[in-house]
Amino acid sequence: MLTILFDGIAYGMVLFMLACGLSVTLGLMNLVNLAHGAFAMAGGYCAVVLVNRLGVPFLAALPLAFLASALIGLAFERTLYRHVHRKSHLDQVLFTIGLVFMAVVAVDYVAGSSQVFVQLPDYLQGRFTLLGVGIGRYRLLIIVLCGVIAVALQLVLMRSRFGSRLRAAVDDARVAQGLGINVGGLFAATFAVGSGLAGLGGALGAEILGLDPSFPLKYMVYFLVVVTVGGTSSITGPFLASLILGISDVAGKYYLPDLGAFVIYTIMIAVLIWRPQGLFARAAAR
C-alpha cells in the first residue's frame, strides 16, 4: 500500500517537472505550447549522450541537461515563439504541433527510432526496505530532487524580486508592462527555465517513462492534464495536480487494472466541467 503511494509520488514528481514550465508559460503569456514535450525530449537525449557516450557522471549530467534544454528553449523563444505570442490559440496550436512533428522526425533522423536509456550508476539501482515500505533508490532520488526544486521554485516566486514581477505579469500583463516590467524579457527567462525543467524531467523520467522520438506526442496529454487540473496561476496548483495524477494513475493500475487510462481522462473532464479554470486556481477568472 505505502509502496504504491511511494511509486505514485515519484511518478507524480516526474510529471510535475515535465509540466510545470508549461503551466507557467501558459499562465503568463496565454501561450498554448503543445511542443513542451519536445524540450523534455531534448533534455533526455542530452543526458543519454553525456552519460553513455561521453562518460559524464549521471548526477553531473542532470544540470547539464537542464542547461541544454534551457538554452534550446531560449533560442526557440527568441527566434520563433515570440512571433506567435499575439496570435490566436488556434495559431499557437498549429504552430506547436508543427514543431512537435519536426522534432519527432529530427530526433529519429539523428538518434534513430528505438528506445534509448540513460545508464544509471550502481548506487542508484535497486531498492531497500524501510519500515515495510519498499523504496527504490532511484525513485527516492527523484522525489528528493523534485521536492527540493519545487520548494525552491515556490520560494523564488514568493520571495524574490523576479518572482513578484512574474506574479504581477501573470495577473495582468498589460498593467505590469505599464509599471515598467519588461514582460517580454521576463517571459523569455521563464520560458527558458520552464524548458530547462522539462529537460531535467526528461532526463530523470527516461528511466521510468522510456525515451524515444515519439516522446512529445505520447506524453503531451499527460502534461495537458496536469495543467488543466492544476490551473495556471501558481506552482502549487500543478504540483498538487501532478501528485494526484501520479498517485491515482499508479493506484488505479494496481487496484483497478481494467479501468486503464479511464481514470486520468475522467478526472480531467470532470475537473474541466466542475472548475474550468483548474482545481487549484483562484476563483477569479481572467
- Contact region with another protein (CB under 8 A), list: 64-72, 158-166, 170-178, 246-254: 246-254
Nearest CB to another protein, comparing residues 200 and 220: 220
Nearest CB to another protein, comparing residues 3 and 177: 3
Window 192 to 231, contacts with another protein (CB under 8 A): 207-210, 212-214, 217-222, 224, 228
Does position 177 bind another protein by CB under 8 A?
no
Nearest CB to another protein, comparing residues 203 and 250: 250
Cα Rg for the chain, rounded, in angstroms? 18
Does position 3 bind another protein by CB under 8 A?
yes
- Contact region with another protein (CB under 8 A), list: 59-67, 171-179, 193-201, 259-267: 259-267
- Contact region with another protein (CB under 8 A), list: 54-62, 81-89, 172-180, 186-194: 81-89
Tell me the C-alpha to C-alpha distance, in Å, between residue 232 and each of 140, 176, 183, 278, 281. 28, 18, 17, 8, 7
**Cα 272 to Cα 267: distance, rounded to the nearest angstrom:** 8
Residue 12 neighbours by CB distance under 10 Å: 26
Q: What is the DSSP string of 16-45?
A: HHHHHHHHHHHHHH----TTHHHHHHHHHH
Q: How far is the CB of 168 from another protein (least distance, A)?
A: 22
Spatial CA neighbour of 186 closest among 28, 22, 60 = 28
Does position 265 bind another protein by CB under 8 A?
yes
Do the beta carbons of residue 82 and residue 184 sit within 8 Å?
yes
Beta bridge partners of 137: none
Considering only residues 4, 5, 145, 181, which one is a binding residue for another protein as defined by CB under 8 A? Answer: 4
Spatial CA neighbour of 193 closest among 160, 228, 225, 218 = 160
Do the beta carbons of residue 188 and residue 74 sit within 8 Å?
yes
Does position 106 bind another protein by CB under 8 A?
yes
Does position 56 bind another protein by CB under 8 A?
no
Nearest CB to another protein, comparing residues 165 and 191: 191
Nearest CB to another protein, comparing residues 66 and 223: 223
Q: How far is the CB of 180 from another protein (least distance, A)?
A: 29
- Contact region with another protein (CB under 8 A), list: 160-168, 176-184, 195-203, 243-251: 243-251
Nearest CB to another protein, comparing residues 78 and 159: 78
Residue carrying C-alpha cell 501528485? 243
Q: How far is the CB of 225 from another protein (least distance, A)?
A: 8
Does position 143 bind another protein by CB under 8 A?
no
Does position 80 bind another protein by CB under 8 A?
yes
- Contact region with another protein (CB under 8 A), list: 3-11, 63-71, 142-150, 190-198: 3-11
Beta bridge partners of 127: 136
Element (H, E) at 148: helix 137-159
Do the beta carbons of residue 39 and residue 109 sit within 8 Å?
no
Beta bridge partners of 128: 135
Residue 176, φ and ψ in degrees, nearest 5: -60, -45
Q: How far is the CB of 25 from another protein (least distance, A)?
A: 13
Element (H, E) at 129: strand 127-130
Does position 98 bind another protein by CB under 8 A?
yes
